[in-house]
Amino acid sequence: MLQWTNSRPVRLGLLLTAACLSPPLLAEEPAAPDAAVAVDMSLEDLLNVEITSAARKSQRLNDVAAAVYVISREDIERSGATNIPEALRLAPGVNVARLANNRWAVSVRGFNSRFSNKLLVLMDGRSMYSHLFSGVLWEVEDTLLEDIERIEVIRGPGAAMWGANAVNGVINIITRRARDTQGSLLVAGAGSEESAFASFRHGMAAGDGHLRVWGKGFARDESVTPQGETGNDYWRAGRAGFRGDWMMGGGHRLTLSGQAYYGTSGDTWHVPDIGSPAGVTLTDMRQKASGGFLMARNEWTLQGGSEAAVQAYVAASELEIAGAFKEQRTTVDLDFQHRILLGDRHDLVWGLGYRHSQDDISSGGMINIQPQKRSFSLVSAFIQDEITLVPDTLRLLLGLRLEDNSFSGFAPQPNARMIWTPSANQSLWASVSRAVRTPSRAELDGQVDAFVVPARSPVNPTPLPLVVSNIPNGQDLPNETLTAYEIGYRHQFGPGLSADVALFYNLYDELRAQMTGSPRLVLAQPQPYVLLPVSPDDSAKARTHGVEIAVDWYPLPWWRIQPIYSYLDLRASSKTGDPASLLSVETTNSGSPQHQWALRSSMSLSERQHFDLWLRHVGKLAASGSPLYVPAYTTLDLRYAWRPTRDFELSLVGQNLLDGQHPESVASLLPSRNLEIERGYYLKARWQF
């Protein structure tokens, strides 16, 4: 397992993308025309929002037997967030920690780290999961925020529908239809941390459908170390894309979309060095990421009212950290699903999937990944039957996904859910699920010099330095497994108040940890040293329980208040007592806060003026005195927006206003220097025509 004490991302991307056909039945509801954002959705509208990710079909939020939170286009705009990870802070149960100005740790229900490996993130059904690290490279995955229709955040396993790695949650970023983004849009701004940003979009009619093209670019300033020094975490990136939607003959609905991107970012690593008295050398690193994808989706209705969809995409990327490694990857993914209504009681969805991913990794220095080339293949099939036990009141959902992959073999992932809806305004649901997390390429094949303990130090009194290296021992790594129990309740108490509560209890087994090998003398030049190998294994287990609460309240027609609260108790333990395993467990137990809460206030002062407040609190990480300790913090974001005309808006945003700088997490996986997030301001202009 690539388990470092510090952290930093990796580089992605070269572009190249080819043909495809179409994706799953994620039918999007028509959105309102692109217009100024206001507090104009009633609670009844919110409960009737269509959710497509939970059961791979369109459902009312109140009918979903899962813990789901919808981040709307309005929520994103009024939050002042400038990227997807910051927007995810809006949802309960999601822990977002900014490690630097160009990288984040994002998780659901615990196990947070630089590459949180138990969260599946999709964009319009396209997986953003990295086979190299088992996680999401948030500095690589992006889109035009104004084109996001909504983000569906499912807390809890979604493996029966979406497969391996949808362990603690599924996030699906759903973009708007091209017909809802006609005309032109220009956005530009600048500030203290957001040095400069600009984007454009143009939508037009195209034959029997609609097309939009867009582009964006930005430059972000550097954050600081705890001592106030510059953090070398600059970020420069550009991206362009398109989406087209057409009605074809025979009732077929075709969507084509694609993106290409390029970006550079900085970092500083503690590189292990046996010649250094401190055991490390502080080294500035540069990451480059480029790539692209092309995706197509076709949906149609069959005789008898059944529906079908086929999706395909091809993605190519290149990620390079100079002096460390370079990964080139090409992925092809095919997905088919079919929905059938059998009588009045059975709503059946089934499907098949195939994915092939091929990499070519050049490495050297402290990181060595062998073999250089390796491919990953995944074959899957799923089925879910929604059985109506009492019409309009009680439903049972039984689902199963079968997968076979080239890294860890066969894995069944079943679930059972039940939902009771005694009225249109309330629902009670419960579920039991099984999910798995497959091992990553780095866990299977990565050899990394983790750190050096200098000679004649308190920990190493010998005359030779001690080099601790993560070295795979050639043994197969099994899937991590989860058995999850959940229960939830939603209720709209009146026209101005609703609440959503979810409780969960999770049992994890065969979690990735480490075991210590036998030390050996290495007679290297110019300095001999003692090598202590540690190897990845499955010697950890854990259990978590918690509660998530979201309230939506309109005290006045023009004023919306949204408090959320999350409690998480995570306790991992080692099954062996090995020192390396115990260290892995300590890192897991210290990675996620126990308490989180936030309060958002959105006021439409007039048709032309809006004022938004976002107060957030995140509990501490680890115990005081631990190297993993991060103190609790409370922060405040403010946004004021003014529209001098209907089509032009100016907004002023202040972020992290309660202190000059604060840490949100410690570096993990890659040996980055720990940095702190500064107070920031930016001014943004938005013009549509």
More confident residue, 349 or 626: 349
How many angstroms separate the CA atoms of 298 and 21, rounded? Answer: 7
Q: Would residue 22 count as lying in a domain?
A: no
Residue 35 has pLDDT above 60, yes or no: no
DSSP 178: G
Q: Cα separations (Å) of 532 from 518, 524, 669?
A: 7, 15, 18
Residue 43 has a pLDDT of: 59
Query: Does a structural domain hold residue 96?
Result: yes
| CA–CA dist 550, 510 (Å, integer) | 32
**354 inside domain:** yes
Could you tell me if residue 3 is inside a domain? no
> What is the total count of domains within the chain?
1
Query: Is 24 inside any structural domain?
Result: no
Other Cβ atoms closer than 10 A to 248: 12
Does 376 map to a domain?
yes
pLDDT for residue 44: 61
Tell me, yes or no, whether 313 lies in a domain: yes
- Residue 24: per-residue pLDDT: 35
How much is the pLDDT for 27? 37
385: in domain: yes
Q: Which domain range does residue 107 map to?
A: 43-688
pTM of the model: 0.92
- Given this model, what pLDDT does residue 41 score? 53
Residues 6+ apart with CB under 8 A from 11: 287, 288, 289, 318, 319, 320, 321, 326, 327
Question: Which pLDDT belongs to residue 304?
Answer: 78
| Tens-place pLDDT, residues 331-354 | 999 999 999 999 889 999 999 999
DSSP letters for 458-470 = SS--SSS-EEEEE
Give me the amino acid identity at 628.
L
pLDDT of 37: 43
Question: Looking at residue 669, which CATH number applies to its domain?
Answer: 2.40.170.20
pLDDT score, position 454: 93
- In this prediction, residue 108 carries a pLDDT of 97
pLDDT tens-digit map of 480-504: 999 999 999 999 998 899 999 999 9
